[in-house]
Amino acid sequence: MPTIKLPDYLTLNGVLIVDKPSGLTSHDVVNRVRRILHQPSVGHLGTLDPLATGVLPLVTGNLTRLAQFYLASEKVYEGVIRFGFATDTYDSEGEAVGPVQAVNVSLEGLRRLAAHFVGVIDQMPPPFSAKKIHGVPAYKLSRQHKEVALKPAQVEIKEFDILEVNHDRASFRARVASGTYMRSVAHDMGKHLGCGAHLHALRRTAMGEFQEREAHPLEDLEAASKSGQMDEIFIHPRRLLPQFPCVTASDEISARIRSGRPINLPDFSQAKQVKVFVGQRELIAIATRVAGTLFHAKIVLAPDPAQQLASKK
């Protein structure tokens, strides 16, 4: 049986999870994947600092428009805090602030301190961060030695467990809401103890529905792209945004959705938003309930193939 090659606008619309290596920015990873896939339209669903490793979800093609639904995604981190001195970046890539101090921390003491950070707290972002001040990222101002007038932000730490203490270092696991800086947590713990501290290592093990076990090194992506096995790398579309129910559209419904007309979905009158599919894998839209059983496409992710092909002639 001959192999059926789908058009590029179908094969390159997807979500994949990169296991980000330390030393690269999230934008560096996006650029690498653009070259690997020969696809200019690639974005990420949540920045990781250059120091950090782990789960970095990427969206490609038309599915880059899904990014708006992941702005508040929960994250899970594992990492190491080093006590004894703070740094200007709040992590191990920065310059030390002050001399190294003697450290006497215990597992029990750090667990008690960590408990004070659980819940909704006011947190000062690091001066070297992507937070914008009058439209300019804070890290750019810091590198120019300009004043960085950041303001505290409310964040939520849902779980914060100190797992082990080894001399001046403590390993932890944290589950946090979007916008939380574990660098700031490390810095604030050191300030509270009076000995200084910084984030020594960080790995993101989950973000939203995406898990560490699904993350692929960049080398694996490159090998899969060369061998034509990218289907094994992309996340199945029906697993995306699990909080939204799935609708498999008939030809009539898909035509209405793709042309921007409302649709009637009597079985989903309690849902605020639904994912609309053609077949098992092609996600064509996210539809929002207007009233009762009437839904309208919030975003259309796949135009009518016949129209798309006609527009390219």
Indicate the pLDDT class of residue 132, thresholds 50, 70 and 90: very low
Who wins on pLDDT, 7 or 157? Answer: 157
Rounded distance, CA 254 to CA 277, Å? 8
pLDDT for residue 230 = 87
CB atoms within 10 A of CB 159: 12
Does the pLDDT of residue 306 top 70, yes or no? no
Per-residue pLDDT, 98: 86
Whether 33 has a pLDDT exceeding 60, the answer reads: yes
What integer is the mean pLDDT of 211-215?
A: 96
Q: What is the pLDDT of residue 270?
A: 87
**Global confidence as pTM:** 0.86
pLDDT for res 150: 72
For the cut 60, the answer to whether the pLDDT of residue 89 exceeds it is: yes
Residue 5, pLDDT score: 42
pLDDT tens-place string over residues 144-153: 444 556 788 9
Q: Residue 305: its pLDDT value, please?
A: 55
- Residue 10 binned pLDDT confidence (cut-offs 50, 70, 90): very low
Alpha carbons 105 and 127: distance in angstroms, whole number: 27
- Is the pLDDT confidence value at 1 over 70? no
pLDDT tens digits, 236-252: 999 999 999 999 999 99
Cα separation of 220 and 201, whole Å? 24
Reported as half-sphere exposure (CB side, CA atoms, 13 A), residue 223 has a value of: 6
Known catalytic membership, residue 267 = no
Model confidence band, residue 4 (pLDDT cutoffs 50, 70, 90)? very low
Residue 310 has pLDDT above 50, yes or no: no
On whether the CB atoms of residues 172 and 162 are closer than 8 A, the answer is yes
Kindly tell me if the per-residue pLDDT of 170 is higher than 50: yes
**Residue 272, class by beta-carbon neighbours within 10 Å (0-12 exposed, 13-18 middle, 19+ buried)?**
exposed
Catalytic residue among 8, 19, 28, 49: 49
Q: Mind listing the domains of the chain with CATH numbers?
A: 8-73+209-235 (3.30.2350.10), 75-207 (3.30.2350.10), 239-312 (2.30.130.10)
